[in-house]
Amino acid sequence: MPTQRLHPHPLQAGTTVAICKTCLPEHVSADNPALDVMTDLQRIKAVTTVDGASLDNAHQRMIHTGVRLLLVLDRNGAVVGLITDRDLMGEKPMTMAAREHISHDQLRVEHIMTSAAEVQVMDMREVERARVSDVVQALREADRQHALVVEHDTHGGPVVRGVFSLSQIGRQMGTELKPSGIAQSVAELEHLIHH
């Protein structure tokens, strides 16, 4: 490819900033479409780790990318589980190290991750018809901070298409949301937002 000479010039008065067309809205209400709070992995690269990675490596990856959930992939790129900051910072690592009779630094992500068989996912077709309040209610009922959204690719195989995060939804709603196991009605969510 031939080199291209660039010609820097002064910034013109009145220049504005481009509006992100694929970004999530900064502010949402409980009645917004669920897609307004879903991290779409067709637009934002998924942050992953591999089975066999150390817990420290996974933790550093979370810190450097600013996420609280990593998808764990096998050598073929298939999702074998997920690991969250709650998994890394809770008592799970110490419990597992004691049970396996190994030191903490010998633990790998597969020791404490939630395996794919245990992960509950949402179907993209349902998400496309859902509202923000439906997502919050489902996460609270499951007592989960995150949820994966799956669709089928052109070959019919399942693909993780998106991720919901209660903390991200809370930021977009202007309130703090925590998994509680208690479903809140739309009216309760609206009250939280406006008071």
* Residue 156 Ramachandran class (φ > 0 left, ψ -120 to 50 alpha, else beta): left
The pLDDT tens digits of the residues spanning 42-78 come to: 988 999 999 999 999 999 999 999 999 999 999 999 9
Q: Are 192 and 150 in contact (CB under 8 A)?
A: no
**Domain-located, residue 14:** no
**Domain-located, residue 16:** no
109: domain CATH number?
3.10.580.10
**Domain-located, residue 79:** yes
- Given this model, what pLDDT does residue 187 score? 56
Residue 163 contacts by C-beta under 8 Å, 6 or more apart in sequence? 38, 39, 41, 46, 69, 146, 147, 148, 149
Say if strands 158-165 and 39-40 run parallel, antiparallel, or are unpaired: antiparallel
DSSP 54: B
Average pLDDT over residues 85-96: 90
Into how many domains does the chain fold? 1
The pLDDT tens digits of the residues spanning 136-174 come to: 999 988 888 889 999 988 877 899 999 999 999 999 999
The pLDDT tens digits of the residues spanning 18-34 come to: 777 777 888 999 999 99
**pLDDT at residue 195 greater than cutoff 50:** no
Average pLDDT over residues 111-136: 93
**Domain-located, residue 159:** yes
Segment 9-16 long-range contacts (CB within 8 Å, at least 24 positions apart)? none
Query: Closest by alpha carbon to 172, among 124, 135, 127?
Result: 135
pTM above 0.85, yes or no: no
Q: How is residue 79 written in tokens?
A: 């999702």
Identify the domain containing residue 48 by its residue range. 34-194
**Domain-located, residue 7:** no
